[in-house]
Amino acid sequence: MRRLFRRVAVGTVGLMVLTGCNPSPYLPSSPTAAAWQQAPVQTPAANQAEIFDLNRRATALDANNRDLHAQLAQSRQQVQLLQQQVSLLQKQLSETAQRLQQTQLAKEESERKFEALQASTTRRGGAIITANTNARQALRLIEIPGLNARQDGDTIRITLPTDQLFPIGTAQLVGTAFPVLDGLAAELARNYPRQLIAIEGHTDNAPVAGGVSSHQLAAAQAIAVFDTLTRRNRLPAQQFSVIAQGANRPAAPNTTQAGQTANRRIELVVQPETVDLP
């Protein structure tokens, strides 16, 4: 009997060894085995949440992309507008530089003429203005139609309103000025054929356009009258001198328009002295 029990026990142990010593199915399983058997499995609800989050992020990226494109288009428009403004400013600067150069050239030309007149008192024909006390004679006051002639000491002053001869602020004779100057030349040749005559240019105190001074304008206007009397009407150039008074000797106050009009004038000053002519 004992031998039989011993054999059963040995067979039981051997069976346990062959089966890996598995515990009894009636005993609780180990924690490691339970954890391995209960691995997490994602549910459909979790998948939907993750997809929703990805869609939300993609929508946000699309919105940011649209904003960046809008900002880029706006920046391009601003750059184009700035380029147009720069081009316009460059064009205006170029035009201003050209006008400044033209004004400077006109100013230099006027200064050159004025300096040439101030440099000497010689006539264009070469005669020098000097007092000829041996040839002094009393001057007779004459009447010239349309012009004012008056006695001024021992000289005769003949006034020509420059508004009848030039556009205001210029030295370009208008067409109606030539009959006036032609008539004046005829009276001078008839009544003062050898007298020294100064052509004085006078202006008001208003600024002159183009950066030209009042003396320069007065000199240019007096030269225009001189040219008409000597070249067009062939009076002796040695008989005349040109003086630019500018606004230095107003005939009336410049505080009114009438006074300014009276001050814009050319005065021919006929002197008692005579000049020797060929």
pLDDT tens-digit readout, 99-151: 666 656 655 665 665 555 555 444 444 444 444 444 445 788 888 888 899 99
Question: Which tokens sit at 27?
Answer: 């005993």
pLDDT value of residue 17: 47
Q: Classify burial at 206, counting beta carbons within 10 Å of its beta carbon; exposed 0-12, middle 13-18, buried 19 or more.
A: middle
Question: Which tokens sit at 50?
Answer: 């993750």
Q: DSSP for 30-92?
A: PHHHHHHHT-----HHHHHHHHHHHHHHHHHHHHHHHHHHHHHHHHHHHHHHHHHHHHHHHHH
- The CA distance from 126 to 239, in Å, is 10
Neighbours of 129 (CB within 10 A): 17
Q: In whole numbers, what is the pLDDT of the chain averaged over residues? A: 79
pTM: 0.54
- The CA distance from 44 to 50, in Å, is 10
Q: Which residues pair with 62 in a beta bridge?
A: none
- The CA distance from 117 to 221, in Å, is 13
Asked whether residue 36 carries a pLDDT value surpassing 60, the answer given is no
Under DSSP, the state recorded for 230 is: I
Q: Is the alpha carbon torsion for 120, 125, 128, 133 positive or negative?
A: negative
- Banded model confidence at residue 65, pLDDT cuts 50, 70, 90: confident
- The CA distance from 136 to 157, in Å, is 17
CA angle 157, 159, 161 (to 5 degrees): 165
Given a contact cutoff of 8 angstroms between Cβ atoms, the answer to whether 202 and 263 are in contact is yes
Cβ neighbours of residue 243 closer than 8 Å, sequence gap 6 or more: 117, 198, 199, 200, 201, 222
Strand order in the sheet with 195-202: 148-152, 155-161, 265-274, 195-202, 240-246
Given a contact cutoff of 8 angstroms between Cβ atoms, the answer to whether 157 and 199 are in contact is no
Given a contact cutoff of 8 angstroms between Cβ atoms, the answer to whether 181 and 256 are in contact is no
- Banded model confidence at residue 162, pLDDT cuts 50, 70, 90: very high
Give the chain's domains with CATH numbers.
119-129+144-274 (3.30.1330.60)
Mean pLDDT for the stretch of residues 169-181: 95
Given a contact cutoff of 8 angstroms between Cβ atoms, the answer to whether 160 and 225 are in contact is yes
- Banded model confidence at residue 186, pLDDT cuts 50, 70, 90: very high
- Banded model confidence at residue 271, pLDDT cuts 50, 70, 90: very high
Strand 195-202 and strand 155-161: pairing? unpaired
pLDDT value of residue 38: 54
Write b or e for each residue in 149-183: b if 16 or more Cβ atoms lie within 10 A of its Cβ, otherwise e: beeeeebbbbbbbbeebbeebbbebeeebeebbee
